Structure formats: C-alpha cells, structure tokens
C-alpha cells in the first residue's frame, strides 16, 4: 500500500508552500518514495476519524500500512531514515542533521509562527500595533543568529540534509514579513532549497491543490 499523507483541500496560504504538508511532500520527493495525498477539509480535521490519526486536529498525517504518524518533524525524520540524501552516513553526522531539524522546529519556527499570528490573526486587535514590533524583533534576532552561523556556507553541515529541508521550510514562512530579505545569505540559502527539483515538484503539487480547490461560497 502506498504512503498516504493528508493536506488541506483548501490551502489557507494560497498554495505558497507555507502549510506543513509541504515539508513532508518535499521530503518524500527527495527520498523518491511514491505517495498519495488525501485532501481533507478544515472541518474534517476536527472529526473523530481524523482525530484518531492526529490528536490535535491538524495536518499533516502520514500513513504507511499499519504505521500512523503525526508531527511534521517526526514524519520527515522517518522519511529521512530511508533516504541517504536526507541523512548522512555516520552516527555523528546523523546526530548533527537531526540537531538542525530540532533547531528549526524548536528554536527558529516558534518566533516565526508567532510573528505570522501577530501579522495576520491579531491585526485587528487594539493592542496589535504595540505588540507587533516586539514579536518582529524576536524573530529578527533569532534569524540573525542563524545567519551569523551559516555565513557563506551552502548548507548547514556541508551536504544538504533533512536539517536543511526543515530549516528552509521554516524560513520560507518569514518571507512575507520582509525580514528574510534583510539577511542576503539566508535568502540565498532559502533560494537554494527552493531550486532543488524535489522542492519544485512538491511545490507544484500543492499549488495544484490550491488551483483546483472547491468553490467557497
């Protein structure tokens, strides 16, 4: 049976690759694994059938035979274990790649997510204008630290790995704020990720979902 992942049938980002099924699609494309995508509505993610797969009512999920996974990081790591192009050989090199996955998810994505919420979800609140600069400063500070570390290196640890896949996926979410372009080396790093054929295939597939979305009345 083929690997099946879930994604929103009506992607809230307009098909720009910001929703978390994108990183799973990208990993599957890098790994060269066959998969299918089961599209779900936002309402369906709150129903018992989906909650049995994902306790928090979110996408993405991953199913392969009897194995059910949620959490995009866990899913990408599972895929990476089957793909030498995503996890380098050697215990220490693998540990460094996994470390960068955790760094992307635990240290870099939270301030970026917070900024996204502040810009989009809280924009109408009376306190939004006062809070936004604080949240933007936190995100800017964190990515400045990353930019200093990356310097002019192509990837975080020599060769491309699942750590880069996750970091690029997270940084893309910063682009709309304009902050990514304040760091030319990080913007170039993201562009290198986006130029990978596997990324482009994944992006095209999720954009096709947006373009074919059901009419919303």
Bridge-based pairing state of the strands 61-64 and 35-40: unpaired
Give the one residue of 4, 10, 13, 192 binding ligand GTB; rule: CB under 6 A: 13
Tell whether residue 28 is a contact of ligand GTB (CB under 6 A): no
Q: Could you say which residues in the range 32-91 bind ligand GTB, by CB under 6 A?
A: 45, 57-60, 71-73
Coil vs helix vs strand at 184 = helix
- What's the closest the beta carbon of residue 176 comes to ligand GTB, in angstroms? 8
Nearer to ligand GTB, 55 or 197 (CB): 55
**5, 7, 20, 167: residue in contact with ligand GTB (rule CB under 6 A):** 20
**Of 49, 44, 8, 6, whose CA–CA distance to 28 is shortest?**
6
> Smallest distance from the beta carbon of 93 to ligand GTB, in angstroms?
24
Distance separating alpha carbons of residues 16 and 137, to the nearest angstrom: 24
* Alpha helices (H) in 81-155, listed in sequence order: 91-102, 109-116, 128-150
Q: Whole-number minimum distance, CB 57 to ligand GTB, in Å?
A: 5
Return d(Cα 8, Cα 25) in angstroms, integer.
Answer: 13
From the list 12-20, 25-33, 76-84, 151-159, the region that binds ligand GTB by CB under 6 A is 12-20
10 Å Cβ neighbour count for 213? Answer: 15
Instruction: Select from 3, 2, 24 the least CA-distant residue to 205.
Output: 24
Contacts to ligand GTB by CB under 6 A:
12-13, 18-20, 45, 57-60, 71-73
């Amino acid at each position: 049976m083929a690997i099946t992942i879930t994604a929103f049938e009506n992607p809230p980002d307009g098909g720009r690759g910001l929703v978390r099924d994108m990183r799973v699609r990208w990993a599957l494309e890098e790994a060269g694994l066959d998969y299918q995508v089961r599209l779900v509505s936002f309402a369906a993610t709150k129903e018992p059938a989906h909650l049995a797969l994902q306790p928090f009512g979110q996408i993405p999920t991953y199913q392969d035979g009897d194995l059910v996974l949620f959490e995009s990081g866990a899913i990408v790591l599972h895929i990476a274990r089957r793909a030498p192009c995503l996890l380098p050989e050697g215990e220490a090199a693998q540990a460094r790649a996994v470390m960068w996955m955790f760094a992307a998810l635990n240290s870099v994505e939270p301030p970026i997510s917070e900024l996204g919420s502040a810009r989009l979800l809280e924009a109408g609140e009376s306190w939004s204008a006062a809070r936004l600069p604080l949240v933007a400063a936190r995100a800017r500070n964190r990515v400045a630290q990353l930019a200093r570390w990356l310097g002019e290196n192509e990837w975080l640890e020599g060769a491309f790995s699942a750590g880069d896949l996750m970091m690029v996926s997270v940084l893309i979410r910063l682009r709309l704020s304009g902050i990514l372009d304040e760091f030319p080396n990080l913007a170039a790093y993201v562009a290198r990720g986006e130029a990978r054929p596997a990324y482009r295939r994944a992006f095209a597939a999720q954009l096709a979902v947006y373009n074919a979305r059901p009419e919303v009345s």
